[in-house]
Structure 1
Amino acid sequence: MHLHQLAQQIMAIKPVPVPTTGRDIDLAVKVTAPVSGHDLPVIVFSHGNAWSMDGYEPLVDRWAAAGFVVVQPTHLDARRHGLGFDDPRFGTIWRVRIADLHAVLDNLDDILTQAGLAGRIDRERVAAVGHSWGGQSVGTLLGARVLDADGTPGEDFSHPSVKAGALLAATGTGDSLTPFAVEHLPFMRPDYSTMTTPALVVTGGKDQSALSTRGPEWFTDAYHLSPAPKSLFTITDGEHTLGGIAGEQVAETSDEDPARVALVADAVSAYLLDTFDLDGTAWKALTESAAASDGAYRVEHK
């Protein structure tokens, strides 16, 4: 199936305002959903650094076509807000991102009512998914914590309504940060030992981060260092944008591959449908196809 040939009609509504505090720029979200259907599972999606609710359409549209309602906040680090590394507010954006996600989850019914979706979702099947910095943000909702400079775990940001998650190219542990990352991104010290919520970790086998002195395996820490149940989906030739998940022909995409983007989208939806006990056939098929993919992609479980 090509990216533009979706299985069913979808619709998108934006912006939907969300009440929150500690922000001098209002929080808003985009909601994408199937035109029809009830008891729909929900994905709350956290974008990577500098992006916004307007990115990641190739992923989000496929998830909506697969039967999910997707809610995308625009975090403070969005390019449109102009907060660079030297802005005094930048050092606390990681906390504001988490607060944004909590605000979305706490106001989910009101958000969906404003989007014309009242009564169409399954409140017991809510997942959180994030890419890059968004992956670390989402990890905290699943139980991961952030270590301070002394290695002491910070507060518990887990959210009770999140029953499953997916981390795409998410930050590894902080013991190998480059000097730039230590100076500007000291919060990139996740402790995954308490990330108990079921999750899929998606990594690119050629994702070499400029923020870590380690290789692509840095991005597998969320899988290896967290408690079961977890699954790891590795795309051997994938780089940080995993084929261009933020959008077609985006400048920062170094491994443009629409088929790879579709594979990532379908892996996440298949995993969540299986984890939510809605339909296990697609996830079983993906696991089997990985074994026959001649190493193009791999699936591991624990």
Structure 2
Amino acid sequence: MVRRGVSVLVAGVLVASVGVGCSAGTESAPQANTTVTPSAAPAPSASASAPAIPAGTAPSDTFAVGVRQLKRNRDGERPLPITIWYPATGRAGGKPTNSARAAEGPFPVIMFSHGLSASPKDYQALLTRWAATGFVVAAPTFPHTSGSERPNVLDVLNQPADVSYALTEVLALGSRDGDPLRGRLATDRVAAAGHSAGGVTTIGLFTTGRDERLAAGIVFAGTALGVGTAFAGATAPQLFVHGEADEVVEYAAGKAVYDKVPWPKAMLSLPGGDHGRSLLGDSTSLRVVADTTIEFLRWTLYGDTDAKERIATAAARDDIATLDDHL
């Protein structure tokens, strides 16, 4: 939800429609070529259960960042181009380089879901910071909630299954002969993250569309409308990030979901934070959000216990956020 005017409209529709069972009689009724029936996430194989991450150490180096695109289509009806940022060889810093040579891995994988009327590129300032610290970040562009003036908000309910499909496709690159990411993916160390409607998508991956391959989650300005709070499956630590001055998804709505999480959890609250600008620009807020999420990911995906101890320190920097810590 990047464009405020559209965001406010669809957020209201989301409350009115998704919250009461996806009635097709709302202002944002689905277009003829889309469906609002929530898709079940593909059932992972028995070997894909949520892993217990052994203790380890995250990379201390900062990497250059490469970027590439995958063209994928789920069931032939849902085009899902996937942008992948990854640690690359070369000098750290600067802009991502197309098809740069991947650094020696393996690196954990993070699946990121964008907000309404947005695209993965809108979050590049945050996602490239994750990649530069040792993570492969894969972000699908959803077919009916991206880049349009009036996205089909109800299609958000199909997106957890989109992410599970995209995850399968990305992880397959790690063992594909000739692929630049062969041997670079830690396929047993995967997290999901998302902003706004992408936060709904991410919550859904731990509730109605539980993907047991996911070991952790990060929810930015999200709500559980349409996907519920019946968190299921193996323990998966969660980090919620929400601005207390959010003009689109009320802070109380995000906090209510956070309170229902039965696993280790923390909530980073920004008293002056709005719905998204702190995530999309190079700002003091972005630095705090980036550093806090990086330490959380180092702990949950690398098993770095020192990083866990640094989460609170990162959250306290510049005195612009508070952390409710139950990790």
Residue aligning to 1:264? 289
Alignment of 1:288-299 (within 5 A): 288=313, 290=315, 294=319, 296-299=321-324
Query: Which residue of 183, 192, 198 maps to 2:229?
Result: 192
Q: Unaligned 5+ residue runs, structure 1?
A: 1-5, 145-155, 173-187, 249-256
Instruction: Give the secondary-structure state (helix, strand or coil) at the position aligned to 1:273.
Output: helix
Deviation digits for residues 60-91 of structure 1, max 9, x if unmatched? 110001100000100123444x4725xxxx36
CA–CA separation in structure 2 for the residues paired with 1:286 and 1:92: 35
Answering whether residue 8 of structure 2 is matched by residue 8 of structure 1, we say: no
Query: Which residue of 3, 10, 17 maps to 2:71?
Result: 17
Superposed CA RMSD: 2.5
Residue aligning to 1:108? 170
CA–CA separation in structure 1 for the residues paired with 2:243 and 2:212: 30
Answering whether residue 280 of structure 2 is matched by residue 228 of structure 1, we say: no
CA–CA separation in structure 1 for the residues paired with 2:139 and 2:179: 13
Higher relative contact order (CA 8 A, sep 6+): 2
Instruction: Give the secondary-structure state (helix, strand or coil) at the position aligned to 2:230.
Output: helix
CA–CA separation in structure 2 for the residues paired with 1:289 and 1:54: 25
Alignment of 1:112-151 (within 5 A): 113=176, 116-142=180-206, 144=207
Residue aligning to 1:254? none
The alpha-carbon deviation at position 191 of structure 1 amounts to 2.0
Query: Which residue of 71, 76, 83 maps to 1:30?
Result: 83
CA–CA separation in structure 2 for the residues paired with 1:119 and 1:60: 21
Answering whether residue 159 of structure 2 is matched by residue 72 of structure 1, we say: no
Residues matched between the structures, number: 249
**Structure 1 residues 84 and 67: CA distance shift in structure 2, 3 A:** same
Query: Which residue of 135, 144, 161 maps to 1:99?
Result: 161
The percent of aligned pairs where both chains have the same amino acid is 27
CA–CA separation in structure 2 for the residues paired with 1:71 and 1:22: 20
Q: Unaligned 5+ residue runs, structure 2?
A: 1-60, 89-102
The alpha-carbon deviation at position 224 of structure 1 amounts to 0.5
Alignment of 1:206-217 (within 5 A): 206-209=245-248, 215-217=250-252
**Structure 1 residues 111 and 50: CA distance shift in structure 2, 3 A:** farther
CA–CA separation in structure 2 for the residues paired with 1:283 and 1:229: 12
* Kept after mapping to 1: 8 A contact 2:288/2:314: no
Instruction: Give the secondary-structure state (helix, strand or coil) at the position aligned to 1:202.
Output: strand
* Kept after mapping to 2: 8 A contact 1:63/1:266: no
CA–CA separation in structure 1 for the residues paired with 2:188 and 2:146: 34
Residue aligning to 2:309? 284
**Structure 1 residues 266 and 37: CA distance shift in structure 2, 3 A:** farther
* Kept after mapping to 1: 8 A contact 2:288/2:317: no
Instruction: Give the secondary-structure state (helix, strand or coil) at the position aligned to 2:74.
Output: coil
Normalised by the length of structure 1, the TM-score is 0.74
Letter of the 1:160 counterpart = E
CA–CA separation in structure 2 for the residues paired with 1:92 and 1:217: 22
Greater mean deviation of Cα atoms: 48-57 or 190-199: 190-199
CA–CA separation in structure 2 for the residues paired with 1:83 and 1:289: 37
* Kept after mapping to 2: 8 A contact 1:76/1:97: no
Normalised by the length of structure 2, the TM-score is 0.69
Answering whether residue 111 of structure 2 is matched by residue 44 of structure 1, we say: yes
* Kept after mapping to 1: 8 A contact 2:65/2:87: yes
Greater mean deviation of Cα atoms: 56-65 or 193-202: 193-202
* Kept after mapping to 2: 8 A contact 1:164/1:275: yes
Letter of the 2:242 counterpart = T
Deviation digits for residues 217-249 of structure 1, max 9, x if unmatched? 222122111212211111221111151x23x4x
The alpha-carbon deviation at position 289 of structure 1 amounts to 5.2
CA–CA separation in structure 2 for the residues paired with 1:287 and 1:169: 20
Residue aligning to 1:147? none
* Kept after mapping to 1: 8 A contact 2:64/2:132: yes
Query: Which residue of 150, 153, 167 maps to 1:84?
Result: 150
The alpha-carbon deviation at position 294 of structure 1 amounts to 4.7
The alpha-carbon deviation at position 262 of structure 1 amounts to 2.1
CA–CA separation in structure 2 for the residues paired with 1:8 and 1:128: 21
